[in-house]
Structure 1
Amino acid sequence: RYLGYRKSIVLGGLMMGAGYFMMGIHSLTMLYVAMTLVIVGNGFFKPNISTLLGNFYSTDEYKDKKDEGYNIFYMGINVGAFICNFFGAALQILLGWQYAFMAAGIGMFIGVVVFLLGTKHYTGFDQKKGTQEGDMPFYKIVLFILVPSIVFGIIGWFLKGVQSEMNPDSAIFGSDSTDAFIFACIPVIYFYASLYFKAKPDEKRPIGALLSIFAVVILFWAVFKLNGSALTTWADRYTDRQVTGTTEKVFSTLVQSKEITYAKAETELYDEQFRLQKENGVVKKVVDYPVYFRNVAPEKLPEEGTKISVWATNLSQSINPGWVIILTPLIVAFFTFLRSRKKEPSTPTKIAFGLLIS
């Protein structure tokens, strides 16, 4: 509304780049600042760049190529998502996590430069629309959605449930941060529900359909975004990552694996569910074998003092984009075949099939 697509995208990219750089600073305060920059920057960046692409394909000349345009766009994202983990693994093994985050920041800044260099290709499609008739003013969005969400989030953070051995912090939904998030969602859900119930009879059906898609998409992304946490944790602690022979030589040469020694030494303390144990914010230490060996079958444990090579955990993040890269050309070819026979489904139908499969 106010900055236009191009300025919003550039601002978002710069904020995310700065956030990635700041994640390399070993400080809890800086971590929260960095995460805030990444979150807000992503809000500026992601929806605007997708809409800008849609605007480009809204003309009669390119309207029939919109699906192909988004396929190329999505393919490009996943090619980057597939490759970056190999660089991240090498940088983490050679130099440390801070350099891997810094590399992400550099990549983001390069992306902003490339975007600016291509300005001539989307001139005229990046104009700001301003407030349209019927749009909710910004101050109402803040007062009716943002402020109530913050208030409810704070309530959720401080509200306590039943304390137990499994729940020492008395969290209602597992952790204070989860409580805060769920409570913060209440005003947002109320707002969208009120849109439906206050709508005119002839508007309820399309609004209901849109809200149903919202609900399904929210559930999909909630599960999908576990990639960065649950999938990585599973790869780290529940997956046999040992590499031997030729595979070990290849991974070692490419700096995609690291060595672990089967010997007792000071290490972080994890409980039976592999949750890191802290006391007053400080990680507890214990003399034990590396946590990787906890799930290794007794008969497969190496000899005392032996070193083994395991592939880097963050390589698991390349599994999903790898499948996208493999399957996208096949899906595009399938719909191209249907189009040649004049049987290609509409874009909403394609989305419906995607939601159904998900």
Structure 2
Amino acid sequence: MKTKHPKGLPFLFFTEMWERFGYYLILGIFVLYLIEPQGVAGGLGIPDKDADDIFGTFIALTYLTPFLGGFLADRVLGYIKSIYLGGVLMAAGYIGVGVFKDLPLFYGSLALIIIGNGFFKPTISTLLGNLYSEEPYKANKDSGYNIFYMGINIGAFICNIIAAFMRNKFGWGEAFITAGVGMLLGLVIFTIGLKHYRHAAIMKPSQEGDTKLSEILMKVFVPAIIAGVIGWFVPTMVLGTNIFGSTNTDAFIFACVPVIYFYVSLYFKSNPLEKPAIGALLSIFLISMFFWAVFKQNGTALTRWANYYTDRSVSESVEKPLASLYLVEEKSYADKETPIFDEQFRSQKDAEGKTLKETGKDIYFRNVSSEKKSELESNSDKPVFLYNTELFQSINPFWVIALTPIIVGVWAMLRKRGKEPLTPSKIVLGLFITSLSCLVMVGAVYAGNNGAEKVSALWLIAGYGVVTIGELCLSPMGLSFVSKLSPARLTALMMGGFFLANSVGNKLSGILASTWYNYENKANYFLVNFGLLIFATLLGLSMLKRLNKIMKESGH
């Protein structure tokens, strides 16, 4: 019986699982920590809109650095050293976020995570692809990436449960430090399995026409820094206002221009044999940006929906067990103040005119149903237990774990019948399915009378379920697509390009989320997201015939 998957897969699976455990633990509580009032609550007390912008910039930068990290792994450091370097930097950054309250040191810790992810993320994905470049594993590359992707989501699922326990039992800092411990555990597992993939971690030999490190630094890295500085200062100095809504957004978009130019230039400089593949990769990078712009709102808009608009009350049957395990927050309805509000949570004020964020008062009870309100008032001396908001971040990875075997099975069944869609077709299908998740949230808005009453958690569960099907058609397929079509000398660099598209989409997600309070009817917010994904779907369909042809001609 032939082995379908290489022996290194389980070790890379668990290495990535623990790395993503740390990363998604951070993301699950990041915005909640930023908006939590200072003092007793222990947060940073940053307004919602600014928190969305910071979150979008952070996740954007974590996916911008892989373009340089992938290049250095290909040409200078090698894959093994890059994974160790990236892992250690991320672990230090996670621990730093938990330790330092001072903003400069807090941002410095985020910088370590951003740089570390640049070395780690494209490299481990490329290493996995190299293992599947060998026979008899080549035909199972898509399945291998799906299994690898499930490992990512196991980490993303358990991290929020641990985060809830740590911050309820100990505090925000201890929760962040736990992320660093997870990353270090991942490196231990990677070390144990080295013998199974060391042979696949050999750097590609230099070829004529290869991009040199000096060229990357002088034509991409340095211009990106200069462009970012220009974006930071010039718009406000010359125009008196920001072009894209905030200073760091202007700086990010300006900095992206030289990087995007570099990837486009790879197409024009490539030889005739490589040109179709690179062109196809750039096309997929473009349409996938729209997916990430909507999908990554799980840490902003959908976290806000869970925090403010979803009924998080715990039933009496599980109240005590969960409370004893520190998996639910304890609130007091008796301590609340009746706010004066203008339909915007961020603007709610107490009788003295101070916002509830400033006073540190909880605003969860603002829009409970009249029936729930009567129940709370009659039992105002009893503590109220609520599911931690970050626990809702585990819904998406739960669906990934549950649905991955089904999706993989469907592709396998179609493959046996000779009807399996090619990778580009799966990606376009994923875009369309993801758009439908936005319509689920439109339904949630109407069910809650535009936020006047909290809605059932089932709306979020359903919305995440739909978006997960789209995600499984697109995200692991994108990694597989890059691994299949990239010229051997550019594999890690093009993997970095895939994460660059992710980066731009992530930043766009923060920009979109920061407009939340501009919409009086929240259904319109989700309809805008729906429109963006339908546009991307149509764009993908217009290119699909050519992309599938290139796939077939390349032997895939």
Q: Of residues 332, 348, 364 in structure 2, which corresponds to 1:261?
A: 332
TM norm structure 1: 0.85
Query: Does the CA contact (< 8 Å) of 1:263 and 1:290 recur in 2?
Result: no
* TM superposition shift of 1:37: 1.0
The CA distance in 2 between the partners of 1:171 and 1:295, in whole Å, is 35
Matched, 1:320 2:396: yes
Deviation for aligned residue 1:49 = 0.5
1:44 aligns to what? 119
Specify which of 409, 412, 426 is matched with residue 336 of structure 1. 412
Q: Distance in 2 between matches of 1:58 and 1:20?
A: 34
TM-score, normalising length from structure 2? 0.57
3-state SS of paired residue (1:133): coil
For the pair 1:296 / 2:371, whether they are aligned, the reply is: no
Paired with 2:356 and 2:208, the residues of 1 have a C-alpha distance of 58
* CA spacing shift, 1:341–1:202, aligned 2, 3 Å: closer
Of 190-199 and 58-67, more deviation after overlay is shown by: 190-199
- Aligned equivalent of 2:296, options 194, 200, 225: 225
Equivalent-residue separation in structure 1 for 2:344 and 2:190 (angstroms): 44
How far did 1:170 drift? 4.4
Post-superposition offset of 1:355: 4.3
- 1:203 is displaced (CA, Å) by 6.7
Which structure's relative contact order is higher, taking Cα pairs within 8 Å and 6+ residues apart? 2
Change (3 A) 1:150 1:86: same
| CA drift at 1:316 | 1.2
Which amino acid in 2 is paired with 1:13? G
- Describe the shift of the 1:205–1:339 C-alpha distance in structure 2 as closer, same or farther (beyond 3 A): closer
Determine the C-alpha separation between the residues in 1 that align with 2:416 and 2:143.
15
Normalized per residue, the structure richer in helix is 2
> What displacement does 1:208 show?
3.5
Shift of 1:357: 3.5
TM alignment of 1:238-249, pairs within 5 A: 238-249=309-320
User: Quick one: which amino acid aligns to residue 291 of structure 1?
Assistant: I
Select which of 182, 198, 201 maps to 1:126: 201
User: Is 1:23 aligned to 2:94, yes or no?
Assistant: no
CA deviation map 1:1-39 (0-9, x unaligned): 111111111111111111111111222122111111111
User: Cα RMSD over matched residues?
Assistant: 3.2
For residues 359 and 381 of structure 2, the distance between their equivalents in structure 1, rounded to whole angstroms, comes to: 15
Give the counterpart letter for 1:315 in structure 2. Answer: L
Gaps of 5+ in 1: 163-168, 278-282
CA 200–76 in structure 1, closer or farther in 2 if over 3 Å, else same: closer
Q: Which stretch of structure 1 is more off in the superposition, 180-189 or 45-54?
A: 180-189
Cα deviation code 1:134-170 (max 9, x no counterpart) = 22211221222222222222222234569xxxxxx94
Q: Could you tell me how far apart the structure 2 residues matched to 1:272 and 1:185 are? A: 37
Give yes or no for contact 2:224–2:259 (8 Å, CA) kept in 1: yes
> How much has 1:64 moved relative to structure 2?
1.5
One-letter amino acid matched to 2:102: S
Aligned length: 347
- The letter for the 1-side match of 2:103 is L
Q: Between Structure 1 and Structure 2, which shows a larger proportion of strand residues? A: 1
Pick closer, same or farther for the CA change 1:135–1:154 going to 2, 3 Å: same
Question: Which residue matches 2:221?
Answer: 146
1:215 counterpart = 2:289? no
The range that moved more, 217-226 or 72-81, is 217-226
1:60 — aligned with what? 135
Structure 2 gap ranges (5+): 1-74, 349-354, 435-556
The aligned amino acid for 2:91 is G
The equivalent of 1:165 in structure 2 is none
Distance 1:343 1:232 in 2: 39
TM-aligned CA deviation for residue 172 of structure 1: 3.3
Query: Equivalent residue of 1:251, what SS?
Result: helix
